[in-house]
């Protein structure tokens, strides 16, 4: 289905027949993508003391699993400012719109001492004068290893604080990255990019979200897309999510 949408003074045609899923699925496996020093996800059939196992392959009439995972560590997730605040904030409460014009950009991370980073200058070059509610950052190299990467103790790339400030000041409300975090893995809890993006030292942007651990296939070209940011209705600062991109035919 091809549909037209109107945003401000512009009309766009969107091809809804070719969704581009940029989420990483959750699997009960040691090869599930993981970060932050936690065990792999678990999906286990409910069992009772008498030996009943709620699994068809064990003789039950149905499959009935308990699932244990951490949304920040085990796959694509969307988080709100509650991730870094004393007061509780729920992403399910604050995210009430789910469709946005998004710009997909590809960034080659820069070496900075012992780290690899995304800088303000790189984002300025990639985005130019484009104004988008959502920005999707794909880092290179971009291999399928990202689907099963074990990030703990690897010091992954991250955004510099001024890069997050730039995105905030540019009006970006929804930031999606293929990294486990906007911030350095071990930064003594400073979380500079998160705080800068949500503006926690000023008027907090409770409506803004960060989505981490996405994977954008190489065949997805840089450019403008229509984003459907789907989340699970968890009353928590973070929730598993399934961002979907749709091609903009005309703009």
Query: What structural domains does the chain harbor?
Result: 2-34+72-250 (3.50.30.50)
Average pLDDT value for residue range 125-145:
96
CA dihedral 199, 174, 108, 181 (to 10 degrees): 70
* pLDDT-derived band at 2, boundaries 50, 70, 90: confident
pLDDT band at 251 (very low <50, low <70, confident <90, very high): low
Contact 137, 118 (CB under 8 A): yes
107, 122 Cβ separation under 8 angstroms? yes
**Over the stretch 43-93, which tens digit does the pLDDT of each residue have?**
999 999 888 999 999 999 999 999 999 999 999 999 999 999 999 999 999
Mean pLDDT of 207-221: 98
Q: What is the pLDDT of residue 185?
A: 98
pLDDT above 90 for 10: no
Nearest to 77 by CA among 44, 31, 36: 36
Helix (H) or strand (E) holding 126: helix 120-127
Q: Is the dihedral of CA 139, 185, 176, 41 positive or negative?
A: positive
Please tell me the predicted confidence (pLDDT) of residue 8: 65
Q: Which two tokens stand for residue 188?
A: 């003594």
State the average pLDDT for the chain.
95
C-beta pairs of 200-204 under 8 Å, 24+ apart in sequence: 200/81, 200/84, 200/85, 204/81, 204/85
Percent of the chain exceeding pLDDT 70 equals 96
Beta-carbon contacts of 94 under 8 Å, excluding residues fewer than 6 positions away, are 80, 81, 206, 207, 209
Confidence (pTM): 0.94
Angstrom distance (rounded) from CA 251 to CA 238: 33
pLDDT band at 11 (very low <50, low <70, confident <90, very high): confident
């Amino acid at each position: 289905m091809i549909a037209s949408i109107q945003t401000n003074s512009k009309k766009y045609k969107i091809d809804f027949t070719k969704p581009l899923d940029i989420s990483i699925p959750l699997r009960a496996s040691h090869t599930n993508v993981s970060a932050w020093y936690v065990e792999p996800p678990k999906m286990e059939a409910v069992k009772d003391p008498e030996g009943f196992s709620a699994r068809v392959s064990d003789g039950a009439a149905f499959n009935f699993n308990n699932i244990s995972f951490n949304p920040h560590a085990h796959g694509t997730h969307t988080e709100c400012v509650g991730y870094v605040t004393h007061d509780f904030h729920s992403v399910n409460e604050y995210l009430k719109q789910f469709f946005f014009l998004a710009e997909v950009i590809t960034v080659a991370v820069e070496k900075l001492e012992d780290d690899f980073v995304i800088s303000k200058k790189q984002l300025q070059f990639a985005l130019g004068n484009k104004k988008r509610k959502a920005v999707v950052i794909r880092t290179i190299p971009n291999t399928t290893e990202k689907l099963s990467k074990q990030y703990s103790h690897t010091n992954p790339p991250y955004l510099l604080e001024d890069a997050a400030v730039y995105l905030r000041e540019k009006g970006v409300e929804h930031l999606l990255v293929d990294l486990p975090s906007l911030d350095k893995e071990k930064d003594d809890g400073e979380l500079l990019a998160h705080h800068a993006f949500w503006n926690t030292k000023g008027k907090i942007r409770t409506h803004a979200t960060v989505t981490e651990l996405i994977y954008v296939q190489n065949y997805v070209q840089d450019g403008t897309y229509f984003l459907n940011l789907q989340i699970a209705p968890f009353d928590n600062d973070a929730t598993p999510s399934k961002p979907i991109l749709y091609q903009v035919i005309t703009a």
